[in-house]
Each structure stands twice: as C-alpha cells, then as structure tokens.
Amino acid sequence: MRIAIIDTSQSRAAIISEGLRDAGLDDVVVIEGTGRLVADLEAAAPEVVLINLENPSRDVLEEFFAVSRALARPIAMFVDQSDAESTAAAVDAGVSAYIVDGLARQRIKPVIDLAVRRFQAFARLHAELNEAKSALADRAAIDKAKAILIKRRGLDEPAAYALLRAHAMRSNRRIAEVAEALITSDALMGDMP
Amino acid sequence: MSLDRVRIGFLPLVDAALPILAREQGFAEAEGLELELVRDMTWATVRDRLLYGHTDAAHLVAPLAIATALGRGRPAVPMAVPFVLGLNGNAITLALPLAEQVLDDDALGDPTILGERLRIIARRRAASGRRLRFGVVHRYSSHNYMLRYWLAACGIRPDIDVEIITTSPTFAADALAVGEVDGICVGEPWNSVAVDRGVGRIALVTAQVWRRGVEKVLAMRRDTALEVPDTVHRLIRALHAAAAHFVAPGTGEASAAILARPEYLDAPVDPIARAITDRVRLVQAAEPVHIADFMFQYREAANFPWRSQAAWLYSQMTRWDGTPFSPEEAEIAASVFRPDIYRAALAGSGAPLPGASSKLEGAIGGGAIGAGSTQGRLILGRDQFFDHRAFDPDDIPGYLAALP
C-alpha cells in the first residue's frame, strides 16, 4: 500500500514517514508541497494521501482528486461515517487524509491512527522547544535586569532579584515581564540619574 | 457579564470584513458575544474545521456550503446559511499578454465584446493545443460559476475550449506572473495585488456578469444553528450592524486598516481600501475608477439569504459537475439558505425583511422597484445577468435546457 505524505514541514514529514516505516508500512513517498505537487502525485499514484491541514495546496489537491482520471480509481476523502471518530481525531491533530475508493478500512485505520500520534508527538516537541526557548529568553532578561539594578542602585545580586520578585508579585506580573520593562526603560533613560 | 464565545473561520479576503469588524468595532460585544476568528489558507480547511467543531461558523464560498449539504465529494452534512456576507466583489484579471490582445484601452471591458474577442483567441489556442487556462479559487466557488457562466454565454466552452484550474487566491498573482494561468477570477485584494505588481490587469468585475450575484455566506452546521438559536440571532444582529458600518461613508479607511493587519488579511492597506469604496485600479499605476456596486454588502437587504440564490447555485452545480437535475437535491440545496432564521434574528430591529423567501433572480431590468416586506421598506435595485436571462427557481430544468 503506497502512502504519500504532503507536508509544509519537512521535519514533520520525516517523523511521520519514519513512524510508518517502523510499523512495517515502507512504501512511503514524501512529496514537496510546491509547484510540482500534482505531477508528483500523479507519478507516485498513492493509495493513501496524508496532508497537513494548514497546507495551502489543499484546495488544489481536492480539485485534482475530483477531476483526475490519471489514477486508476478516484480518491475519495476518508470521512466514511463509520470512521467519524478517527477522522475527527485526525482533524484535531492537524492532518487530513484521502484514500482511493474501495480500500478496506481495516487497512487504513492503523495508518491514520499512526499519523495522528506522530502529528501529536510533533506538536508536543514543538511546544516543548518553544517553552525551552522562552525559558532561556526569560533567564537572560532577568540576568540583565539584575545587572542594571546592581549597577544603578548599588544592590547585591540576591537583593536585586528580591526587588524584581517583590515588584512582580505586587503588580501581578511575571518576573521576566518586570525585567523586560526595566531593560526597556533603562535603554530609554540612558545615563539619566 | 461574561460573553458567549463564537469561533468563526475565514480566509484572508476583503469580504471577510463583517465578522472582523463585528469583533473589532464592538458590534459583537454589544450583543454579548466574543468572536474568535480562525484564519486559514484553504476553503477545504475552513470547511473541515467547521464540520469537526474547531469553529462554530465560517466565512464560506456559498456553493461549498451547498456542495457540503449535498455530499459532493464527501459524505453529506446538513448545513445552514442564515446570513449572506455580501454580493460580488470579485474580478476577472487577465495576464498582460492576453489583456493586450482583447482590450483596446485602459477602461473596464464590456462583457459581450470582450467575450467575443476572447472566443476567437480561445478557439485558436485550443486548435494549437495550448488552451487558455484560467484559475479560480475553488471548484465550488461563485468565482468558478461566474467565470463559466460568462464564458459559456460568449460561446467559449469551459473544459473544452479553455481549461479552468484551482489556484489559491493568495498565490494567484504569482500564477499570473509565471504564466501558469492566462487569467484569474478571484476576490479582493488579490486582483488588485496582481495589478499593483504589474502582472495583470482587471478586465471585468463579476458585478458585470450578474449585478447581484451571491458571494460569501455565513455557514454553520445545521445542528449548531438549531442548538443555540439565541446565539445565532445575536451573531446575525452583530454582523448586520457591521454591514451597516462597512458601507457608512467615511469608514472605509479605518476598516481597511483593520483588515490589513497581520492576523487578518496580512496584505497592503491600499488595495483593501479601494475595494471597500468600490474604486478599482484596472491597470498598474492608473487612477482607480469607481465601479458602482462592485462590492454589495448591505443595501437592499443584501444579507438576506434568498432560497432562489441557493437554487441558482445548485443549477450551476449540476451544469458543471455534469450531474442530472434532481428535485430532491434542489430542495436540499435551497433549504441550506435560511431566511426564517434571518427574519427571527432581525425582527423588531427596523431592518427591511422581505415577505417572500424566493424571487426571480436577475429579473429587474429597469430602475429600482419596491418589494413586499413584513418589516421596513424594501427597495430592490437593478439586477440582471449580462445576457439578460432571468432565473426562475421553480423551473430549473427549463432554465438549464435554455442555457448554451
């Protein structure tokens, strides 16, 4: 069973195709979502197409499925009523799937379920990465704000931190936000006493 | 008081203005609603988010709402359209090499003369094996049906003499630039963006093909519309107020500035402002020309979902999908449009409410006429197709048989 993956994120496409291969589905083609999309798809003649929901080529793709006579059997959307739950899970995860008409659904379901899990894993990885990045940025801002307080108010480091923390609690803001505000005002005020 | 949250999907187009302004100008809040707007890049995804509950309502091309209810290309899902977001506002933009052959000055084309010239070129190109190719935004879009209606009435057979493909509106200018298509029929600001980039010129606007052509609608799943009628009524009132604001003199610049923001259209403000005020720049660097009723978002009860509009779209769907007319399908299609919900929402507001739910489409040739209303005074202006055929929703087979 040949599976085509069309994704605007190459790394996500790689993660999904790896997952499919691990599950023994090794006839996987990754298609770049650019100008040659339709021609590449025609050449690959897949039985299952997985595409990320936010891909800008989805309307073009659906038109191709509607009019294509190049594929032996027309591709219909995987939205069989009996599989509504599976399809909903796929849409929630950000993936839409198309299959050739008449492909047995017990063969499809594992593919969809696996794609959903891989999409979710990718989203989690992304969220964690963003969190780590923003934690790093927060740390840098707090360090810089502390340095400003040490220099201008003659505080030591624990006192500078305590001041930031106390101000954050009083104004119901995050310490990093208070630090950012301090850095901005320091930059604007320059050497003014 | 906490606000009820309504999520609305949209594509970055000028005619997504009403939900955006309802949110930004406080019309939703005044009705106790908080609108969350969900932007996507394809109609397929706007539709899927609506069907799978990521959104409660959507800015949608009208034929796609009907195709979804009829189960074209996928299992059918009952749909409801309680409000029309606007009429027309689209244009046909030709790549410069083609425009030079069929237009002799910098004015807007005449649909009949332009069609006549285009037919000669289209036939010649077809004979040489390189058919003219036009891009539309979706198979089930008013753009596709307007373009096809015009071409066919001019003796140009879509899919035979010319090719019609799907292009994403945001990439339409690129498609013109690289010669992937010879013309596009898309919504604003994407025609104007192509003109400003110097890769195309606007030859016609869809209001010239059908003066009062139905365009985007507010689409919902029917079960959503029936489950929370009060919320739907408040949403309709908020959108109606936004529509009045949209056409009010002096609001165009401010509306354009809001629409241009990165979270909405993420597009240059100038072409958006031109579209809102019916001023269209046809050729790069030229003075914009005023085109009456280019976009039509409010007057003459423009937001009222006429069942006959849905019926016309269904007639075109059978015509171009090549499926036989079916009275059952026609009834399902017409019933997607919900004048009853519109009336219930705006009862007591002073907005004109048509007494009828269906009318002859394209059948007002002269000046404005008074129409029966259950509330307010309803005046309908000139409404014609460019070839002067009228559409009778009670005789779709007769209409289809008489079409070329």
The rounded mean pLDDT for chain B is: 95
Tokens for A174?
């995050």
d(CA B168, nearest CA chain A) in Å: 7
Q: How confident is the model at residue B159 (pLDDT cuts 50, 70, 90)?
A: very high
Q: How many CB atoms lie within 10 A of CB A101?
A: 11
Do the Cβ atoms of B241 and B22 come closer than 8 Å?
yes
Closest CA to A49 of A105, A3, A112, A113: A3
CATH number of the domain bearing residue A11: 3.40.190
User: How far is the C-alpha of B126 from the C-alpha of B264, rounded, in Å?
Assistant: 40
B160: exposed, middle or buried (C-beta count within 10 Å: 0-12, 13-18, 19+)? exposed
What angle do helix axes B307-321 and B142-153 make, rounded to 10 degrees? 70
| Continuous H helices in A29-104 | 37-44, 58-67, 84-93
Q: How confident is the model at residue B236 (pLDDT cuts 50, 70, 90)?
A: very high
Q: Is residue B127, in this structure, part of any structural domain at all?
A: yes
d(CA B315, nearest CA chain A) in Å: 19
Identity of the residue in A53, A58, A77 whose CB atom sits nearest the CB atom of B74 = A77
Identity of the residue in B45, B53, B171 whose CB atom sits nearest the CB atom of A54 = B45
The rounded mean pLDDT for chain A is: 84
Residue B92 is inside which H or E element, if any? strand B90-95
Residues A103, A166, single domain; the answer is: no
Classify each residue of B58-72 as buried b or exposed e, where b means 16 or more C-beta atoms within 10 Å of its C-beta. bbbbbbbbbbbbbeb
Residues A66, A9, single domain; the answer is: yes
Q: How much is the pLDDT for A191?
A: 64
Do the Cβ atoms of A109 and A83 come closer than 8 Å?
yes
Q: Is B169's pLDDT higher than 90?
A: no
Q: Is residue B222, in this structure, part of any structural domain at all?
A: yes
SS3 for A48? strand
Q: Is residue B300, in this structure, part of any structural domain at all?
A: yes
Contact check, Cβ <8 Å, A58/B139:
no
Mean pLDDT for the stretch of residues B18-41: 97
Write the pLDDT tens digit of every residue in B330-384.
999 999 999 999 999 999 998 999 999 999 999 998 888 889 999 999 999 999 9
B383 phi and psi angles, rounded to 5 deg: -145, 105
Read off the pTM: 0.88
Q: How confident is the model at residue B1 (pLDDT cuts 50, 70, 90)?
A: very low
Q: How much is the pLDDT for A45?
A: 86
Percent of chain A scored above 70 by pLDDT? Answer: 89
SS3 for B218? strand
Identity of the residue in B48, B75, B139 whose CB atom sits nearest the CB atom of A91 = B48
Write the pLDDT tens digit of every residue in B248-286.
999 999 999 999 999 999 999 999 999 999 999 999 999
Residues B79, B219, single domain; the answer is: yes
Contact check, Cβ <8 Å, B73/A62:
yes
Q: ipTM of the assembly?
A: 0.88
Domains: count for chain B:
3
Do the Cβ atoms of A20 and A3 come closer than 8 Å?
yes
Residue of A nearest to B54 (CA): A92
Residues B232, B266, single domain; the answer is: yes
Range(s) of the domain holding residue B335 = 4-87+214-276+294-340
Residue in the structure block whose two tokens are 């309502």: B57
CATH number of the domain bearing residue B179: 3.40.190.10
User: How far is the C-alpha of B352 from the C-alpha of B358, rounded, in Å?
Assistant: 15
Domains: count for chain A:
2
Residues B336, B383, single domain; the answer is: no
Contacts B40 to A, Cβ<8 Å = 54
Residues B113, B157, single domain; the answer is: yes
Residues A53, A92, single domain; the answer is: yes
Contact check, Cβ <8 Å, B49/A91:
yes
Q: How much is the pLDDT for A73?
A: 64
Residues A123, A154, single domain; the answer is: no
* Strand residue runs (E) in B117-199: 132-136, 162-166, 183-187
Q: How much is the pLDDT for A124?
A: 85
CATH number of the domain bearing residue A161: 1.10.10.10
User: How far is the C-alpha of A98 from the C-alpha of A111, rounded, in Å?
Assistant: 11
Report which DSSP code applies to A182: H
Q: How confident is the model at residue A193 (pLDDT cuts 50, 70, 90)?
A: low
Contacts A91 to B, Cβ<8 Å = 48-49, 52, 54
Range(s) of the domain holding residue A172 = 130-189
d(CA A81, nearest CA chain B) in Å: 7
Residues B131, B218, single domain; the answer is: no
A96 and chain B: CB distance < 8 Å anywhere? yes
Write the pLDDT tens digit of every residue in B50-104.
998 999 999 999 999 999 999 987 889 999 999 999 999 999 999 999 999 999 8
Mean pLDDT for the stretch of residues B199-214: 97
| Cα distances (Å, whole numbers) of residue B384 to A52, B206, B208, B217, B307 | 42, 12, 9, 21, 17
